Every structure is written in C-alpha cells, then in structure tokens.
Structure 1
Amino acid sequence: MPGHDETHRPPRADEPGRIDLDRASQARVYDLLLGGKNNFEVDRQFVQELLKIAPEIAELTRQNRRWLADAIDRMSADGGIDQFLDLGAGLPTARNTHDIALRADAAAKVVYVDNDLTAISHGQALLADDRSSFFADADVADPAAVLTHPVVTEALDLTRPVGILLGLVLHSIADPARVVADYLAAVPSGSYVAITHPLNPRDGSRLAEFATAIEEKLRDAFPHIRFRTGDEIAGLVAGLDLVAPGLVDLASWWPEAERTLHAAGPGRLVLVALARKP
C-alpha cells in the first residue's frame, strides 16, 4: 500500500498465534451478522447466543449498512464529497464504502481505518492494488494517530471537505464526544459525519429493557460497549447542521413507502444522523 511502512506494521491476522480464538471479535461478529464467512467458531457461538435474545439484530445490521450507503450517496450528490474516512470499517463486505463512493464519482478516495487483526489482513489484501481505496491500521479512538497515519495523510486532502463514517463504532468508545469533536476539528467546513449508534433510553420502558438485555449480552464478549440515551447521542452532533430528517431511529430515516423495518419495532434500537460541519 502506498506510503505504508511494512517494517512497522502490526502483525497480520494470518500470521500464526496472532488471533485470540477464545474471544469473539466485533469485526467478525458484524461480518457474520451480514452473512459473511470470515469468522471462527467463537464468533458463531456468540452470534447464536445473541440471536436467541434479539433475533432481529441481523436485520438491524443489514439496515445499518443500507443506511451508510444512503449517507454516502447523499454526501456525494448533495455535498460534493469525494473523499471518505471510514472509521472502524471492519471486514470487507457487500456494498463497501469505496464501491458506493466510486459509483458516484470515479475520482473518489476512501481510507478505511481499523485495528482488528482480521480486518487489517483482509482489508490490506483486498486493496493492495487499488489506487483509490486504502487501509490504515490504527485505533479510531485515537484521532491524532489516525489523522497523522501516513496512509491517511497521503490519500486524503484534509484541507478539503471529507465524509467521516462512524457506523456502529462509538458505543465501543469511552468518550465519543471528544473523539467526534477531534475528527471534525481536523477537517474544514462542508465536511460531513455519518453516525449510527445503539440506543438505550434507560427509562424503564420495554425498549429500554430490550436494549439492556442486548447490551449486557454484548458485554460478555466486549466489556467496554455502552449503549447511550437519545440525549447523549444528540450531543455527538450538537452544533452541526443535520440533514433531514435529522437524528432519528433507523426505521424512521426512510419515507414510509421505503421502510423495511417497522417504526415501532426493533429499528428504534439504533439512532442515525448525517450532519454537516457549518
């Protein structure tokens, strides 16, 4: 990959003894829920247990990908965005960010960022000969490290507007408001951020009870995960110009005729927002 120093790269997932096969991986679990095949028995067992609690979660994951594709299309068509930073990108899947961005603009550039070993291995292999899409091995919770990574600095022009994608990522970060603010501070006016985040209203409602059950199960494998309230998620995009229909649940993003999730059902478990830096 251009500009990537192999002498300082992290170990690849295909190198012996590098992957902890006793623990599920968020990237592999997400890929499995999307129908992917890059997973191990520990991931499959965890997903089977998760689906017993929330059988709808696979469809929510697919709808999350659908939403991200729509956000990329809107950023390209309405905002003229031709460079994207996909944070916590995970494993290559159907309708990757670069597939969607390049369909809208053949000159678009995309940088994927992740520090999951399996994601690094597959991402770098997929994009090894690509000159429009790149993979940076870095921790998305450390904006300074991401923004100074040689892959990012060589592929993207951070003096021009950028589309930042944070799809089902921030619930794994302890201080998401700081992280979002740091990324937005590094890009100019006209840049966008696309966020999807699991909701737990913590108000004693049935939705809160359902969200808590999922959250607690996820913490069996991923102890740092935290769903957030609507007010907490709204704070992540405070001061930005929200694209209509604003900060809404996943089911309500689309007009009623285009919805595939019931507005009163599990689609309420994920809030989404596309926002522009003024």
Structure 2
Amino acid sequence: MSERSDPPGETPPVAHVAHNARVWNYWLGGKDYYDIDQQVGDHVTSMFPSIREVARADRTFLGHAVRFLAGEAGVRQFLDIGTGLPTVENTHQVAQRVAPTSRIVYVDNDPTVLAHARALLAGSPEGETDYIDADAHQPQAILDAAADTLDFTEPVAVILLGILNFIADTREATEIVETLMAAAPSGSYLVLTHPTLELGGDGNVEAMRFWNENAAPPITARTGAEVARFFQGLELLEPGIVSCARWRPGYEAEDEKTVAQFGAVARKP
C-alpha cells in the first residue's frame, strides 16, 4: 500500500478495486491512494498520457471559477458535489481567501473522502464549512441537508466537477442538474466539468474502456451538445463550453493546451 494519511483510528477503505477519488488524488500528486490505484492510474496514463494534464487543468479551472464567483460575482455560498479527496486549493480555501465569510458545503459518498472530511472543514473563522455524506443520484436529499448551512433564498454556486460522468443515463444526469438549480434563486451559478471524447484523441477511447473494466465507478463521456443540455435555461459565461484548460472569466486563454475535459460556468437569470 502506498503512503496515505488516514486519520488515526479510522478504518481504511477497501482497496482491491481502484476508485476514482484515489486515482485522481494520485494523478494530482497526492498521497491518499493504494497500490491498485497507482497501478490502474499508471496504466491509464500509458494509454492516454495527457490524463494528468486533465486532472490538473480541472483543478485549475476550479480555482479560476471560484475566485471569479467569490470576487467579481459576489457569491458567498458554494455547494461542491463530488468534491473528492482534499488537495491543494480546495473550494473553501479559494473562496474564503477572497471572501472570508463564504459558506461551503462539500458533498461526497466515498469512504476515503469521509475519512478526510475534517481537512475539508478547516475553514476561516468568519465563514462556515460543512460536509455531507450523500449520493449525487439523490439531489433532493443533498439540498435538504445543505439547507442546514446554506440559505437557498440567496445565490448559491453549484459545483459539479467531473461528477455527472458517473451518471450513465444522460436524462437522469440532466434531471439531477435541473433539481439542484431549481432550488437555487436567481443570481446563482452552475460550475461544471465533464470528460469528452471530442477533444481527447484516439487514446482516450481505449483508456476509458480500460477504466470501466478495472476501476469504479464507470465513466460516461459526453459530447459538447450533450453537455450543453445541462445548461438549458441558464446564461453561459464567456467563453462558453470549452476545454476546461482554456476557461477564464470572460475570455479564452489560447496559450493553454486543450485537454479532454469540457468546462463551463453559467448564471441562473
């Protein structure tokens, strides 16, 4: 087993099957993973060498989006669903650095993330952070629990980074987004990333097939048109739905390499 930082007294997760949260942590340079996660992660990398760039671009996108929302957009509430394992520049760190009174609710149902939830809760004294052990398939349950910390009469940024790809049915994934955004008032935002085969090259096809045969949960890639369905009724911010490495508030960064992950931010009118 690779080095990890399980809290004392916590039961470590089952580690005979690679899991997305731990493999993603490995790709980001973390240490909270097991041998099987590294093995699968290395094999995927051998098939699709830019996967680490995807992971890092996704994390950078989160920082750009949260800084913009907490700053220029004035958002003070963030609902981060499918947060994954704590690493550098988590949502609460970015948001509360800009606006210390920001309130953040993290949502995940992976036992490894739950074991590290205390690291996610160490926010600014002026703000508030909370963690909900819940499944993205049950958006209403998430909203009900989040209401203990967030005020849904005020704007909320709903963050769904690399999570809808684990909802195999596109209609169900769309309904999840609709339920979440229906509960958010005007002036709220949707922040989303999603893997795609349209930007990734031939290697991504075989890499995803290998992942789905050897790791959990399975991934569903979607086209730009399918991803656009998640934003129906919302106002996309420029530059729209693009490679997440190229997203910036209001303009496209042409110097950034395209990665096989769409990213976009939209406002609820």
TM-score bucket (shorter structure):
0.7 to 0.9
Q: Which amino acid aligns with 2:266?
A: A
Partner SS state of residue 275, structure 1: strand
Aligned to 1:260: 256
Instruction: Work out the CA distance in 1 between the residues paired with 2:35 and 2:228.
Output: 37
In structure 2, relative to structure 1, the CA distance for the partners of 1:31 and 1:170 (3 Å cut) is same
Q: Describe how 1:1-278 pairs up with structure 2 within 5 A.
A: 15-16=10-11, 19-127=13-121, 132-149=128-145, 152-174=146-168, 175-201=172-198, 207=200, 209-220=202-213, 221-222=215-216, 224-254=218-248, 259-261=255-257, 263=258, 267=259, 269-278=260-269
Instruction: Work out the CA distance in 2 between the residues paired with 1:244 and 1:256.
Output: 8
CA displacement 1:213-239 (0-9 Å, x = unmatched)? 222122121353100111101111122
CA contact (8 A) 1:124 1:134 kept: no
Q: CA deviation at 1:41?
A: 0.9
TM-score by length of 2: 0.88
Q: CA deviation at 1:250?
A: 2.4
Q: CA deviation at 1:188?
A: 0.4
CA displacement 1:97-148 (0-9 Å, x = unmatched)? 0010001101001111000001011013552687621111111221011111
Question: Larger % of helix: which?
Answer: 1
In structure 2, relative to structure 1, the CA distance for the partners of 1:26 and 1:19 (3 Å cut) is same
Instruction: Work out the CA distance in 1 between the residues paired with 2:69 and 2:241.
Output: 16
Higher mean alpha-carbon deviation, 217-226 vs 75-84, is at 217-226
CA contact (8 A) 2:100 2:124 kept: no
Q: Which amino acid aligns with 2:209?
A: E
Q: Which amino acid aligns with 1:40?
A: Y
Q: CA deviation at 1:247?
A: 1.0
CA displacement 1:16-72 (0-9 Å, x = unmatched)? 4x6221111111111111100011111111111111111211111111110111011
CA contact (8 A) 2:120 2:131 kept: no
CA contact (8 A) 2:108 2:135 kept: yes
Higher mean alpha-carbon deviation, 43-52 vs 223-232, is at 223-232
- Where structure 1 has 5 or more consecutive residues not aligned to the other structure, the ranges are 1-11
Partner SS state of residue 92, structure 2: helix
Identity %: 37
Q: Which amino acid aligns with 1:216?
A: R
TM-score by length of 1: 0.85
Instruction: Work out the CA distance in 2 between the residues paired with 1:190 and 1:259.
Output: 31
In structure 2, relative to structure 1, the CA distance for the partners of 1:148 and 1:13 (3 Å cut) is farther
Partner SS state of residue 64, structure 2: helix
In structure 2, relative to structure 1, the CA distance for the partners of 1:19 and 1:198 (3 Å cut) is same
Higher mean alpha-carbon deviation, 73-82 vs 190-199, is at 73-82
Instruction: Work out the CA distance in 1 between the residues paired with 2:225 and 2:138.
Output: 24
Aligned length: 255
